[in-house]
Amino acid sequence: MKEKVVLAYSGGLDTTAIIPWLKENFNYDVVCCCINCGQGNELDGLEERAKACGAAKLYIEDITDEFCEDYIMPCVQAGAIYENKYLLGTSMARPGIAKKLVEIARKEGAVAICHGATGKGNDQIRFELGIKALAPDIKIIAPWRMTDIWTLQSREDEIEYCEAHGIHLPFSDDSSYSRDRNIWHISHEGLELEDPENAPNYEHLLVLGVTPEKAVDEPEEVTMTFEKGVPTSINGVQMKVADIITKLNELGGKHGIGIIDIVENRVVGMKSRGVYETPGGTILMEAHAQLEELVLDRDTMKEKKDIGNHFAQLVYEGKWFTPLREALQAFVEKTQEYVTGEVKFRLYKGNIIKAGTTSPYSLYDSSLASFTTGDLYDHHDADGFITLFGLPLKVRAMKMKEVKTLNNTK
């Protein structure tokens, strides 16, 4: 009986060409595994395609709810944003995919897991760190790094290779963007984006929405509720997290929300330029932050911001299955204990405009915040506070004056 390899299969040209390549070079039975993270109709026709290319079996595993609840929400609650812009749409999905690949490999008794990530990108790191953490005994095959036997360097090469093996597929050698899509976002790389001097061709590029200029002319009021940092409803309709993200994608896309153009620093040391569409995610992150600023105290917010940046770095680098990520998440989960309430905002031409926030745990006290004197705050108390708070500055200034006077008398 032949040994088995589990292939992370997207149905695209790269992973389709890898099926006959694995059979030819390793004599494996190829078990394809497509992980559904909410990428929609991209999954249509995959079984026929995989079988036509020589796969012994195809799994289509839907982890959309798990992705939303176990990976997206911890990042939302942490406020994890990489390099101040990127909402980690691809990064968050990779550990869940790696986990499922390992599960299928164990089920099938496979000796190896194969992925189609290139040797220049971040995904090779994310996939492989996840697999190593969960199944250190399973071999990893990365064709794009095996240049001695993987000689395909272009779409044209891959199409020719498939045709030479009697596989005729509905792919063309026309240039197109390199995209990654799931329920949270879609990323775009390639074509004009490869030169930072070029403006994105948004007319050709966008999938989930429109630019603010093309957005509808009427603003839209939205109300969301949260329970312990988790969204529970939109406009009074209770929904699970996945359905909330789907609905927010619809709303955000219509109003031109969540389009970013970023030059980011990859883990492997190079800069890359991409455009990300994250309409629903942008709204959800903003709504969650809007509620947090009402219920979290100053010191916790300050510490949480630093941890959020660290959390984003770990996720971006593929270090999900680490003790540090678990420890940081434990801190974040504690901060969410009272992040409960209602958030209102208005969507208009790419903007998310606050329209009111309420929470039973609000730390905002109108008697304190008001210009009128309340029972809890005596203006005279500020005298002593400022004296002590400013004491280091005053002492330093006095000492500097003494030194200057001493030098002038010499």
Q: pLDDT tens-digit profile of 173-187?
A: 666 899 999 999 999
Task: Judge whether 77 lies within some domain.
Answer: no
- One domain for residues 33 and 158: yes
Residue range 37-48, pLDDT digits in tens:
998 877 777 888
- One domain for residues 345 and 388: no
Exposure on the CB side of residue 329, measured as CA atoms within 13 A: 18
Q: Which domain holds residue 31?
A: 4-64+90-174
Q: Quick one: pLDDT at residue 240?
A: 98
Domain count for the chain: 3
Last residue of a domain, one of 127, 153, 174: 174
Q: Quick one: pLDDT at residue 409?
A: 80
Q: Quick one: pLDDT at residue 372?
A: 60
Residue range 277-310, pLDDT digits in tens:
999 999 999 999 999 999 999 999 999 999 999 9
- One domain for residues 348 and 204: yes
Matching residue, tokens 């891959």: 158
Task: Judge whether 302 lies within some domain.
Answer: no
- One domain for residues 123 and 208: no
Task: Judge whether 34 lies within some domain.
Answer: yes
Handedness of CA 364, 370, 376, 380 (dihedral sign): positive
Q: Quick one: pLDDT at residue 376?
A: 72
Task: Judge whether 364 lies within some domain.
Answer: no
Residue range 59-99, pLDDT digits in tens:
999 999 999 999 999 999 999 999 999 999 999 999 999 99
- One domain for residues 144 and 242: no
Cβ-based neighbours of 73, under 8 Å, separated by 6 or more:
229, 230, 241
Last residue of a domain, one of 155, 174, 193: 174
The one catalytic residue among 10, 29, 49, 123? 123
> What is the mean pLDDT of the segment spanning 203-217?
97
Task: Judge whether 72 lies within some domain.
Answer: no
| Residue 155 belongs to domain with CATH number | 3.40.50.620
> What is the mean pLDDT of the segment spanning 349-376?
84
| Residue 257 belongs to domain with CATH number | 3.90.1260.10
- The answer to whether residue 14 is catalytic is yes
| Residue 2, pLDDT above cutoff 60 | yes
- One domain for residues 166 and 190: no
Q: Quick one: pLDDT at residue 371?
A: 59
- One domain for residues 155 and 12: yes
| Residue 158, pLDDT above cutoff 80 | yes
The answer to whether the beta carbons of residues 288 and 299 sit under 8 Å apart is no
Q: How many CB atoms lie within 10 A of CB 346?
A: 14
Q: In sequence order, what are the beta bridge partners of 29?
A: 4
| Residue 155, pLDDT above cutoff 90 | no
The one catalytic residue among 10, 49, 91, 94? 94
| Residue 239, pLDDT above cutoff 70 | yes
The answer to whether the beta carbons of residues 114 and 5 sit under 8 Å apart is yes
Q: Quick one: pLDDT at residue 367?
A: 66
> What is the mean pLDDT of the segment spanning 46-61?
90
Task: Judge whether 330 lies within some domain.
Answer: no
Q: Quick one: pLDDT at residue 175?
A: 64
Q: Alpha helices, DSSP H only, in 261-297? A: 279-295
- One domain for residues 154 and 257: no
Alpha-carbon span 50 to 370, nearest angstrom: 66
Q: In sequence order, what are the beta bridge partners of 5?
A: 30, 112
Strands (E), 304-365: 341-348, 351-358
Q: Quick one: pLDDT at residue 124?
A: 98
- One domain for residues 230 and 290: yes
Percent of the chain with pLDDT over 70: 97
Alpha carbon 327 to chain centroid distance?
19
- One domain for residues 229 and 102: no
The one catalytic residue among 10, 14, 91, 273? 14
Higher-pLDDT residue of 202 and 171 is 202
3 torsion bin: left (phi>0), alpha (psi -120 to 50), beta (else)? beta
Helix (H) or strand (E) holding 65: helix 64-66
- The answer to whether residue 195 is catalytic is no
Last residue of a domain, one of 133, 159, 174: 174
Residue range 93-134, pLDDT digits in tens:
999 999 999 999 999 999 999 999 999 999 999 999 999 999
The one catalytic residue among 62, 65, 178, 179? 178
The answer to whether the beta carbons of residues 299 and 72 sit under 8 Å apart is no
- One domain for residues 28 and 169: yes
Task: Judge whether 387 lies within some domain.
Answer: yes
| Residue 370, pLDDT above cutoff 70 | no
Q: Quick one: pLDDT at residue 170?
A: 73
AA letter at 298: R
- One domain for residues 344 and 244: yes
What is the pLDDT of the chain when averaged over all its residues? 94
Task: Judge whether 83 lies within some domain.
Answer: no
